[in-house]
């Protein structure tokens, strides 16, 4: 054993350490930014070290693929809008799953080739043996061991599912696939596909490595990812993406075991476990169970016995709204997806600052699933420079609404819909909401009578103490600012 | 089976580590953390490089090439997106003392 | 050195796991947890049994005997003391909902 | 390899898993009790599995030692008083350190024997090789590898230090060793001993395994543990015990590496890391740094420029004290070490209940280092059945003292000593205290003019609004109860 592989393994160790430390930092708001840099340094180290490995062929090809892949992803990641982040995560995650599946395929094919030759490869034919020594000192030059075969196949399966599933999630969030794809007996069909994929996987794992079986296995796995994701509504996509993220982690760990690469095992497993927990936390924040997200029928009941809403929407002028808030004691601002679409956060914060200067107590009330990803509103408000201490969680602010003079809802709909509490037929029934209806006055900024994500009516807009300020979020907030300034002039 | 045990220990401990890191994370960080862990499994790039580096037949080489391409996309894209998301936390760190 | 790396990974991951478990533990549990982890390293008993089980010379046997004696004391004493400390939490769990 | 060792390793794996899960449960008050049971099951499993190992000699001796050790520890652990718990933890922890050191000694001696034979042992001579295969497949029948030697020596050193240090801690807390042992140049001497121990350890680790060197190494290590612990005051012992607990964990992990025993590696390392963090947390709760605890001169300045206290202690009768509290609106009860000594928690809670029945708002104010171990007061109050919601942390209750009518201090002294804030010469200067002096009236129950742990006067007892209720804690509380009942009769 030369010193070079040892050095490479040392780099891998440091990389694994940096990944863990980086993730640790990322899980606290104060240190989050540094975290990604730590993990990035680890990645760079691991990749450079791998380039330096002896006995690597196709170095030119490797470099080309790395450069192309990095350039394309970097470019696309830089230019997407902030609101499109979730689907980009889905896309990149799918790529990782695809890579794991492809590695599994290479290993299976190479295993079949080696098994066919009957005599085991000599060392130079399979020079990655240095990396394998540790985990299976004897099997290094022999074909894969049974455990490796099983984990390799399993990793390929999970990776392929994550690949096609993530691509569907991407397409849905990107708006390329508006309709949910549902048909009777769907679950049975999906189960059948999964079973068939598992059967083919078992064949591969037990050494029946024919070309048709391998091809069928991958096609079935990809198909399952597709079919499993198609019926899920876009509102649940962040949870699904998080789940596939954990899947990819697992797949990477399993393929890492096959390659005898400890950095992959550890990074993959850490992500697998972290992602599983994160998925549960996200589902919980939306008051859903994971099973309900994956197999539930979100929105299926919508339009059924929907509750009729009495009354009418009462409009208000910006000037009146501005005066109302200028002389209020407490104002709560409730942003939603519409604020993100209108990129109104800067104007909203300017308006809030003017109110604060006048002595009004202003707080931002954030629902955990406002917007299109967890923390969406926090990110936007942080971008605009709103200090943390003005931002209140749902649990903190809900008891305060009765003492609030004006609740200013801007571009939020589902998260303030009282029907989540009153109408069992509503698709959002049971979701905890921001209790704005309890405020003395409610002003709602939205463009018109558009519904929110769940596609349902909102009784709040028809309430006696609610006034509608129609218009684009940014424009409306700008007008409020102008009116407020005019007040003082 | 011998080596299997060591792998099992590593799997178990890595799982605990990952789980504990995420426990008690604030909602506001869910999406950046998802993105950050998405970046971390970009380490698959290393495996893809090794697979391509040891490919023998044209078919293996083609598969390996795709693997490296995808792995590089995972790693680079994951980094950029996470970095952009977390950048948002910069401005608000100054006014508030702690989160 | 090869095996050294695997051991290093296990050391690192076990350290992270231990660290994360303790992070954010309430003051009231400091002493029981100290006692509980004191019990856990009573696993040294297993090593002492192996050492005694493979002792060849009388001197090694004597040392091994002492090791088992001490290890058994660590494990049994650690358990009893921890159990008694934690028993205290029983009565107060009912009135308060959560701690 | 037969199936038996595999089964044993599976048991070890499950044991390691149960240890981690158990510790996890122990770190939350709701699940803490179950945690120790989980860990206990793991331990039982590991020990039984080890008995079943093939090729074990001396089974009778092993059984005898286990039975004696378990019986003695079980008996002593069952019968000690609650207040003596910390020193028992020290004792058992020292035993663990001693066991690790003894294992290291056996391994070193066996290594020397084998190295002397020159030809490597054959398999039956070193049958634990099955356990070693994994970590060093080739070296199984050869003498220890350099890394193993180094870790084995290091583990023995740390274990021996933990052994003698813990015994000193035990003796101090048990009251067998009242005086701190200090002399000029102590640090230099300690450093010298440590250096000598390290030099001898390096000799052993590099193969110079002579009998004198080995003996000298262990004597020096034990001496260092002794010398390092002697100068530390009893008040800091819980922190020191926690540190030695982490030490033992490390030693066990290292010896586990030498034996190729994964359960020891993982359990030891987890405890090593957890214990290190716990030590820091405990030091922080006492407002000390770890370095200050180990090398500081706690109490050295005491008696020096101690501040003079003006005024006198003003006694009060139990009847008057009872009336005062019966007609108060808010009462804060501040227990301290004296309540533990007097075992007065039950009477105190009875008294508090009577007050609550009369409509008085009662809260228990707990200082993090009241008593003689962190959480000491919480444990006692929990034993008496005081509900959690009546128990307040220092940070929570301090702002409330100005609105408190009566603060009833029972057996607390240092933790309510205002000189921690005012007198820089005081040994407790800088420690955050419970601000009872801010309460409208203070009643202090203690036996006489005894000082607290730090051995210093307390200005609180001389304050204008303080009244002293002299007597044993339990008796005084009992009298308060009687007086309160008499009030209603
Ligand atoms: N956070 C997550 O993780 C996540 C992920 C996926 C889905 N979801 C789901 O998304 C929903 C989030 O609720 P939400 O209240 O934030 O949003 P919402 O229910 O989707 O409502 C958004 C509202 O904003 C208005 N709007 C759109 N563009 C606007 C613009 N340019 N200016 C002003 N208003 C505009 C729309 O009405 P007009 O058309 O009349 O303007 C719409 O009613 C929930 O159902 C949640 O379950 C959440
Ligand atoms: N919690 C920990 O982890 C820990 C560990 C070690 C040391 N310490 C140290 O211990 C101290 C704890 O402070 P503390 O205020 O709880 O206790 P303290 O300062 O030790 O004072 C205890 C007081 O209780 C009185 N007392 C003793 N026996 C009594 C009885 N039977 N009935 C009634 N009163 C009795 C004593 O006065 P009389 O003799 O006049 O009755 C004494 O003044 C701090 O200095 C802390 O740093 C803490």
CA angle D113, D118, D120 (to 5 degrees): 85
Query: How many other CB atoms sit within 10 Å of the CB of residue A488?
Result: 9
Of A235-239, D200-204, D230-234, the range with the highest mean pLDDT is D200-204
Asked if the C-beta of C20 comes within 8 angstroms of chain B's C-beta atoms, the answer is yes
List, edge to edge, every strand of the sheet that includes A441-446: A391-393, A361-366, A330-335, A406-410, A441-446, A466-470
- Residuewise pLDDT in 10s, chain A (489 residues): 467 678 999 999 999 999 999 999 998 878 888 999 999 999 999 999 999 888 888 999 999 999 999 999 999 999 988 778 888 999 999 999 999 999 999 999 998 888 776 544 443 433 343 333 333 333 334 578 888 999 999 999 999 999 999 999 999 888 787 676 777 888 899 999 999 999 999 999 988 888 899 999 999 999 999 999 998 877 778 889 999 999 999 999 999 999 989 899 999 999 999 999 999 988 887 767 888 778 765 444 444 445 567 778 899 999 999 999 999 999 999 999 999 888 899 999 999 999 999 999 999 999 988 887 777 888 788 878 898 889 998 888 999 999 999 999 999 999 999 988 888 777 777 788 999 999 999 999 999 888 887 778 899 999 999 999 999 999 999 999 999 999 877
Token pair, residue D206, equals: 């590099």
At A39 the pLDDT is: 97
Q: Verify whether the Cβ–Cβ distance C20 to B21 is below 8 Å.
A: yes
Establish whether residue D447 lines the binding site of ligand 2, counting it when its CB lies within 6 angstroms of any ligand atom. yes
Q: How far is the CA of A282 from the centre of ligand 1 (A)?
A: 18
Token pair, residue A50, equals: 């791998």
Q: How far apart are alpha carbons B31 and A285 in whole angstroms?
A: 12
Could you report the per-residue pLDDT of C15-73, keeping only the tens digit for each?
Answer: 999 998 888 787 778 888 999 999 999 999 999 999 999 998 999 999 999 999 999 99
Any chains having at least 3 CB pairs less than 8 A from chain B are: A, C, D
Q: How far apart are alpha carbons D182 and D159 in whole angstroms?
A: 24
Could you report the per-residue pLDDT of D293-311, keeping only the tens digit for each?
Answer: 787 654 444 444 455 677 7
Establish whether residue A86 lines the binding site of ligand 1, counting it when its CB lies within 6 angstroms of any ligand atom. no
Q: How far is the CA of D326 from the centre of ligand 1 (A)?
A: 58
List the domain boundaries for chain B. Answer: 27-87
**Mean pLDDT throughout B28-54?**
93
Token pair, residue A228, equals: 């499993």
How many beta-carbon pairs under 8 angstroms link A with C? Answer: 24
Q: Which chain B residues touch A275 with a CB distance below 8 Å?
A: 18, 34, 37
CA angle D145, D146, D151 (to 5 degrees): 100
If you take atom 9 of ligand 1, which residue's CA is the nearest one? Answer: A235
CA angle D173, D175, D180 (to 5 degrees): 80
Q: Is D178 a catalytic residue?
A: no
Choosing from D236, D414, D423, D435, the catalytic residue is D414
**DSSP string spanning D157-203?**
HHHHHHHHHHHHHHHHHHTS--S----TTHHHHHHHHHHHHHHHHHH
CA dihedral of D324, D326, D328, D331, whole degrees rounded to 10: 100
Query: How many other CB atoms sit within 10 Å of the CB of residue A30?
Result: 13
Mutation pick from A102, A163, A240, A372 vs chain B, by most beta carbons of B within 10 Å, is A102
CA distances in angstroms from D100 to A48, D53, D226, D277, D429, listed in the order given: 41, 20, 17, 22, 39
Q: How far apart are alpha carbons A264 and B42 in whole angstroms?
A: 9
Q: How far apart are alpha carbons D478 and D347 in whole angstroms?
A: 6
Q: How far apart are alpha carbons A54 and A251 in whole angstroms?
A: 26
pTM of the model: 0.81
CA distances in angstroms from C93 to A168, A190, D335, D387, listed in the order given: 48, 46, 21, 8
With CA atoms as reference, report the closest residue to C78 among D248, D27, D380, D50: D248
- Active-site residue set of A: 414
Q: Which atom of ligand 1 is nearest to the CA of A458?
A: 43
Q: Verify whether the Cβ–Cβ distance C93 to D30 is below 8 Å.
A: yes
Ligand in closest contact with the CA of D236: 2
CA distances in angstroms from C86 to A104, D27, D198, listed in the order given: 49, 11, 39
Q: What is the mean pLDDT of chain D?
A: 86
Could you report the per-residue pLDDT of D130-168, keeping only the tens digit for each?
Answer: 333 333 333 334 578 888 999 999 999 999 999 999 999
Could you report the per-residue pLDDT of D415-444, keeping only the tens digit for each?
Answer: 999 988 888 777 777 788 999 999 999 999
Q: What pLDDT band is residue B96 in, cutting at 50, 70 and 90?
A: very low
CA distances in angstroms from C17 to A486, D16, D247, listed in the order given: 59, 12, 17
For C17, the closest of B16, B23, B24 (CB atoms) is B16
At A216 the pLDDT is: 95
**Mean pLDDT throughout D100-119?**
85
Q: How far is the CA of D431 from the centre of ligand 2 (A)?
A: 15
Is residue D342 a contact partner of residue D473, using CB atoms and an 8 Å limit?
yes
Query: How many other CB atoms sit within 10 Å of the CB of residue A47?
Result: 21
At B89 the pLDDT is: 66
Q: What pLDDT band is residue B90 in, cutting at 50, 70 and 90?
A: low
Q: What pLDDT band is residue D281 in, cutting at 50, 70 and 90?
A: confident
What is this model's ipTM?
Answer: 0.79
CA angle D183, D189, D195 (to 5 degrees): 160
Establish whether residue A143 lines the binding site of ligand 1, counting it when its CB lies within 6 angstroms of any ligand atom. no
Ligand in closest contact with the CA of D473: 2
Query: How many other CB atoms sit within 10 Å of the CB of residue C97?
Result: 10
At B3 the pLDDT is: 67
More confident residue, D122 or D74: D74
Rounded to 5 degrees, φ, ψ at A329 are -90, -45
Nearest CA in chain C to A136: C3
Q: Verify whether the Cβ–Cβ distance B5 to D9 is below 8 Å.
A: yes
Q: How far is the CA of B89 from the centre of ligand 1 (A)?
A: 23
Token pair, residue A192, equals: 């059948």
Asked if the C-beta of C27 comes within 8 angstroms of chain D's C-beta atoms, the answer is yes
pLDDT at B93 over 50: no
At D307 the pLDDT is: 54
Could you report the per-residue pLDDT of B42-71, keeping only the tens digit for each?
Answer: 999 999 999 999 998 999 999 999 999 999
Mutation pick from A134, A253, A256 vs chain C, by most beta carbons of C within 10 Å, is A134
Establish whether residue A235 lines the binding site of ligand 1, counting it when its CB lies within 6 angstroms of any ligand atom. yes
**Of A337-346, C75-84, D368-377, the least confident:** D368-377
Q: How far apart are alpha carbons C71 and C50 in whole angstroms?
A: 12
Token pair, residue A381, equals: 């408000």
Asked if the C-beta of C53 comes within 8 angstroms of chain D's C-beta atoms, the answer is yes
């Amino acid at each position: 054993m030369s010193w070079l592989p040892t050095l490479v393994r040392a780099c891998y160790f440091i990389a694994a350490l940096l990944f863990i430390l980086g993730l640790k930092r990322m899980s606290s708001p104060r240190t989050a930014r540094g975290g990604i840099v730590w993990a990035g340094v680890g990645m760079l180290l691991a990749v450079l070290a791998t380039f330096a490995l002896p006995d690597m062929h196709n170095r030119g090809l490797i470099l080309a693929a790395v450069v192309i892949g990095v350039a394309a992803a970097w470019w696309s990641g830089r230019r997407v809008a902030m609101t499109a982040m979730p689907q980009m995560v889905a896309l990149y995650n799918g790529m990782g799953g695809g890579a794991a599946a492809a590695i599994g395929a290479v290993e299976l094919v190479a295993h079949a080739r080696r098994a066919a030759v009957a005599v085991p490869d000599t060392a130079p034919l399979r020079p990655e043996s240095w990396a394998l020594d540790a985990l299976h000192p004897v099997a290094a030059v022999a074909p894969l061991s049974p455990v490796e075969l099983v984990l390799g196949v399993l990793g390929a399966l999970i990776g392929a599912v994550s690949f096609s599933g993530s691509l569907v999630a991407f397409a849905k969030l990107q708006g390329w696939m508006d309709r949910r794809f549902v048909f009777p007996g769907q679950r049975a069909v999906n189960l059948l596909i999964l079973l068939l994929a598992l059967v083919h996987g078992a064949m591969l794992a037990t050494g029946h490595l024919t070309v048709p079986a391998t091809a069928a296995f991958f096609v079935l796995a990809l198909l399952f990812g597709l079919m499993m994701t198609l019926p899920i509504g876009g509102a649940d996509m962040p949870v699904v993406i998080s789940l596939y993220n954990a899947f990819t982690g697992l797949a990477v760990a399993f393929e890492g075991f096959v390659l005898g690469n400890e950095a992959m095992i550890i990074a993959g497993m850490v992500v697998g476990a972290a992602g599983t927990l994160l998925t549960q936390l996200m589902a919980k924040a939306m008051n859903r169970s994971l099973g309900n997200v994956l197999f539930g029928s979100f929105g299926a009941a919508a339009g059924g016995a929907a509750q009729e809403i009495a009354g009418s929407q009462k409009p208000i002028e910006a000037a009146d709204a501005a005066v109302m808030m200028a002389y209020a004691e407490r104002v709560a601002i409730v942003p939603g997806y519409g604020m993100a679409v209108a990129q109104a956060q800067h104007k909203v914060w300017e308006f809030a600052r003017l109110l604060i200067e006048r002595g009004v107590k202003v707080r931002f009330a954030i629902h955990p699933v406002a917007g299109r990803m967890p923390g969406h509103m926090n990110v936007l408000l942080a971008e605009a420079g709103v200090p943390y201490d003005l931002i209140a969680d749902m649990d903190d602010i809900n008891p305060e609404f009765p003492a609030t003079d004006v609740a200013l809802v801007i571009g939020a709909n589902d998260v303030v819909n009282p029907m989540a509490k009153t109408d069992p037929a509503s698709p959002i029934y049971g979701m905890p909401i921001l209790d704005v209806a309890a405020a003395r006055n409610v002003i709602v900024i939205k463009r018109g009578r558009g519904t929110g994500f769940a596609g349902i009516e909102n009784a709040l807009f028809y309430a006696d103490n609610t006034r509608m300020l129609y218009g684009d979020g940014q424009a409306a907030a700008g007008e409020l600012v102008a009116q407020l300034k005019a007040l003082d002039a | 089976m011998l080596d299997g045990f060591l792998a099992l220990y590593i799997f178990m401990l890595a799982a605990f580590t990952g789980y504990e890191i995420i426990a008690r994370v604030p909602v506001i960080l869910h999406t950046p953390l998802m993105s950050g862990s998405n970046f971390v499994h970009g380490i698959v790039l290393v495996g893809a490089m090794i697979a391509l580096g040891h490919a023998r037949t044209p078919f293996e080489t083609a598969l390996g090439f795709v693997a490296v391409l995808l792995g590089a996309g995972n790693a680079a894209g994951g980094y950029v997106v996470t970095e952009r998301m977390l950048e948002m936390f910069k401005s608000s760190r100054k006014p508030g003392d702690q989160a």
